Amino acid sequence: MEKTIQEKIKDIEKYICENFEELDMDDPIEEGYFKEYEDIKGAVEEDFLNFENTFDIKLPKDFKELYKYKNGSGYFSILQCSIDKRNVSFSLLSLDEMKRIKGFFQDRDALLADYPDFFTSEDIKNMRDNRIKPYLFHKAWFPFASYCDCCYLMLDFDPDKEGQEGQIIFYIHDPDEIVYAAESIDALIEDVWKLLEDMFKEA
């Protein structure tokens, strides 16, 4: 029987705490990050409704399942991702943090082509992915996890013709780039869980 998102997250917590050195992380228990993380409660239906009403969206079911377990992860980098040959450790944002960040980031629509000083036509062509519309900033993108307050995993509510609503995309800063990460929250958690299981599960 396949594990639920919450069961996979609990496995991920264990893998990280037992193997932080191999992941090039500080000890989350010694640093106190994990204790703070353990104290974080899950979101409730009222929290989701408030968020959805604020932005006039419908949050994916798997996103809600994740956030019912933990409404953010504080300084604990729960999402150990390998995306587009990049290994990145993300912390989960709370719904309130998502609202705050949305107030100044991904709060407008701007195409890559709107920034010719930064992106040549060749750059834009090389970045083209038929699952993602060619924006740099887009109101339909919602950051939900961060790395160093400059790189974000985002829910995409306006995919291109080969994508699907609720897919996960990765905003990379300096140089700026948008890359595809996973088809859903469920798939993202599965990727993280499988990555750590393959690395650390006892034979």
pLDDT class of 2 with cuts at 50, 70, 90: confident
pLDDT, residue 105, reads: 96
pTM of the model: 0.95
pLDDT class of 174 with cuts at 50, 70, 90: confident
Least confident of 21-35, 41-55, 57-71, 158-172: 21-35
Of residues 203 and 15, more confidence is placed in 15
Q: How far is CA 117 from CA 110, 113, 143, 177, in A?
A: 14, 9, 25, 14
Could you report the per-residue pLDDT of 117-143, keeping only the tens digit for each? 999 999 999 999 999 999 999 999 999
| Whole-number Å distance between alpha carbons of 124 and 1 | 43
Cα atoms found within 13 Å of the Cα of residue 194, Cβ hemisphere only: 8
pLDDT, residue 149, reads: 86
Average pLDDT of the chain is: 95
pLDDT, residue 146, reads: 98
| Whole-number Å distance between alpha carbons of 153 and 176 | 14
Average pLDDT (136-164) is 97
| Whole-number Å distance between alpha carbons of 18 and 33 | 14
pLDDT, residue 203, reads: 41
Q: Which pair of structure tokens corresponds to residue 102?
A: 């949305």
pLDDT class of 202 with cuts at 50, 70, 90: low
Domains and CATH numbers, the chain: 5-200 (3.40.1580.10)
Give 131's contacts (C-beta < 8 A, 6+ positions apart): 159, 160, 162, 163, 164, 167, 180
Q: Tokens 């919602």 sit at which residue? A: 142
Query: Would you say residue 1 has pLDDT above 90?
Result: no
